[in-house]
A and B are shown apart, each in its own frame.
Chain A
Amino acid sequence: MNTNRTMLSIKVIFILFLIALPLIVRDQYWIHIIDIIGIYSILSLGLNILVGFTGQLSLGHAAFFGISAYTSAILAIRLHFPFLICILAAVVVSAFFGLILSYPCLRLKGIYLAITTIGFGQIMYTVFVEWRGLTHGPMGLTGIPSPKIGNIVFDNSTYYYYIILLCFLLALLVALRINNSHIGRSMKSIRDDEMAAETCGVDIARYKMIGFVISAAFAGMSGSLYAHYLNFISPDSFTFDFSTQMLIMILIGGVGSIPGSVIGAIVVTFIPEILRDFKMYQMVIYGAILVLILIFLPDGLSQIFRNIPSKLGLNKLLKNTNTLAGKDNS
């Protein structure tokens, strides 16, 4: 009972902190960085469900991000659909592509899966560049409208922050519920040992498919947020480089860890910003930092945070959330 109350207060404090964040930071530039972190967090949460939970490597995730950004942008520019419809459509379309990609990937493993997902990413990139009638090719799409609710136009970083926050909390809730349910457990069993999972009655095709669809849907949400935030998109944002950057986020944060997904997004966005003063050495130092993190914390930065509760004597609390159903058995 006590632990439940503590958990609830931690959650409330966390949400209140996030709501108050723009008031604490104030500087528009840093709020902009936080917005980008929010968008990337949703993306890496989704990728972690596929890679970290289900154990299926995807090197073409930028494609989903791109598909949804274009879907949302085109619906808004050409058909003048309101933001809510655009983002919903982006999620659905992206999830649908996730479903399509999942079919050839069901029986693939390791390098073959990696190459298939790279192939998917490259195909979509080519479509973004070449289908000029729809995407304006390399010029990209400009004038994507900012979201509008009533008379409020969410056209600055602070206002937009709250839209991102809402979407982020929704994505976090879904990810947590997947993690703490039979879906998450079945996914992880596939990651740990596919053959054993199968013989335990786990329908591996079903859960792999759910992994692909959910992670594409998350990418869809963030892609749409991205398009309406920057008001401009071009194929350059959806390259193979960006797919690897997403993977770096979850590697740095912690593969299969929900807090890790967010930590990874923070690190990958923040560090290059902090290193801006180093100019031409910026990327060298950034790369070195990433390598050092992976050498000393192979399970990602979330490893550090995992050890903190035990040091503070909050073990019981953590176990309670881990064993779900909120049951305190000790």
Chain B
Amino acid sequence: MIKINTILEIKEICKNFAGLKALTNVNIKIERREIRGIIGPNGSGKTTLFNIMSGIYLPNGGGIYLNKGNIVGLRPDVINKRGIARTFQNIKIFSKMTILENIMVAVGSKQPVSFFSTILQTKKANKWENEIMQESETILTSLKLWDYRNSLAGSLPYGKQRILEIARAWSTNPTILLLDEPGAGMNRQEKKELIAVITTLNKKGITIVLVEHDMKLVMELTQQISVLDSGELIAEGTPREISNNQKVIEAYLGKEKTA
């Protein structure tokens, strides 16, 4: 049964790649407004799960229920409009566009105005353009990126690119934000900034699902952690429970061999 404040339910998700089982019967429930960590060794299926949740992959079985509606089979842009936004493990920003344009793409995709009213610059189209501009300004200002607005996204330092990617995902007004290794390659200062951004977004009521290798960051941010290993969910619990879980330790460090 879906609990009253479960926002997303991953139910019996399976995914095979030409015989390789990437995910087997994964079940995860995510509560509204929580920060959920998903961890696991390399190749355990974390990113595959994100790709299914955002509509990039079609699972071989199972369902993903967002507010009780199954989103499996929907196009990625439709899933985004239903309220799931994401970032990528390898940063995917629009590198030849400015920071401002990156955000404006996301803000503007919510309610595209028809082609002809855009070309004729009708009142409606102009109003919408102004709204996009204002909203983008608010977002960039709140994430301290406004000063960079006219630089090309590709020219930003690495840490700022990560923040921009999160900002862009946020600009689509999601209820759930999937962050795929947001801390990868960041220095300590940048990670501090990242934690502040994630906390701010969570306080605004956005549910956050976080795939991350940096355990310190996961421990600091999340309330619940799900652990995947070889495509199976092997443990779930609070950060403290997980760090003491024997199965998890084995998955990461390998079983001790008996002579």
Contact = CB atoms under 8 A, between A and B. Distances in A.
Interface of A: 174, 177-178, 181-183, 185-186, 188-189, 191-193, 195-204, 206, 210, 256, 319, 322-325, 327, 329
B22 interface: no
Contact of A201 (B80, B94, B98): B80
B223 interface: no
A188 B172 contact: no
Interface stretch (B3-11, B104-112, B186-194, B210-218): B104-112
B97 A200 contact: no
Interface string B127-152: 01110110001000000000001100
A200 B125 contact: no
A203 B137 CA distance: 23
A200 B109 contact: yes
B133 A324 contact: yes
Contact of B112 (A182, A189, A199, A256): A182
Given A186-B112, A199-B169, A325-B133, 5 more contacts: A182-B113, A182-B128, A182-B132, A189-B94, A200-B109
A201 B106 contact: yes
A197 to B, nearest CB: 7
27 contacts: A181-B129, A182-B104, A182-B105, A182-B112, A183-B118, A186-B105, A186-B109, A191-B96, A192-B96, A193-B93, A195-B88, A196-B92, A198-B56, A199-B54, A199-B55, A199-B76, A199-B80, A200-B171, A201-B110, A202-B105, A203-B75, A204-B77, A319-B150, A322-B150, A323-B100, A324-B129, A324-B133
Query: Which of A189, A200, A256 gathers most chain B CB within 10 Å?
Result: A200
Interface string B55-87: 110000000000000000001110011000110
Contacts of A200: 77, 80, 85, 105-106, 109, 168-169, 171-172
B115 interface: yes
Nearest to A177: B119
A193 B77 contact: no
Contact of B95 (A192, A198, A322, A327): A192
B229 interface: no
A286 B85 CA distance: 50
B170 to A, nearest CB: 11
A293 B49 CA distance: 47
A195 B56 contact: yes
Secondary structure type dominating chain A contacts:
helix
B52 to A, nearest CB: 13
Interface of B: 54-56, 75-77, 80-81, 85-86, 88, 92-98, 100-102, 104-106, 108-110, 112-113, 115, 118-119, 121, 125, 128-130, 132-133, 137, 149-150, 168-169, 171-172
Query: B81, B106, B128, B130 — which one has the most chain A CB atoms within 10 A of its CB?
Result: B106
Contact of A210 (B97, B115, B129): B115
B92 A195 contact: yes
B85 A199 contact: yes
A196 B150 contact: no
A173 to B, nearest CB: 9
Nearest to B130: A325
Contacts of A197: 94, 105
A146 B201 CA distance: 64
A198 B75 contact: yes
A183 B109 CA distance: 9
Nearest to A203: B77
The 7 closest A-B pairs by CB, nearest first: A201-B109, A182-B108, A196-B92, A192-B94, A201-B80, A198-B76, A189-B105
A198 B119 contact: no
Contacts of B169: 199-200
Contacts of A198: 55-56, 75-77, 80
A329 B110 CA distance: 25
A45 B146 CA distance: 32
Contact of B119 (A178, A186, A196): A178
A199 B109 contact: no
A318 to B, nearest CB: 10
B109 to A, nearest CB: 4
Contact of B81 (A177, A191, A201): A201
Nearest to B117: A181
Contact of A177 (B80, B95, B121): B121
A268 B86 CA distance: 44
A193 B92 contact: yes
B92 A202 contact: no
Contacts of B105: 182, 185-186, 188-189, 197, 200, 202
A195 B101 CA distance: 17
B108 A186 contact: yes
Given A201-B109, A201-B172, A319-B150, A196 B93 contact: yes
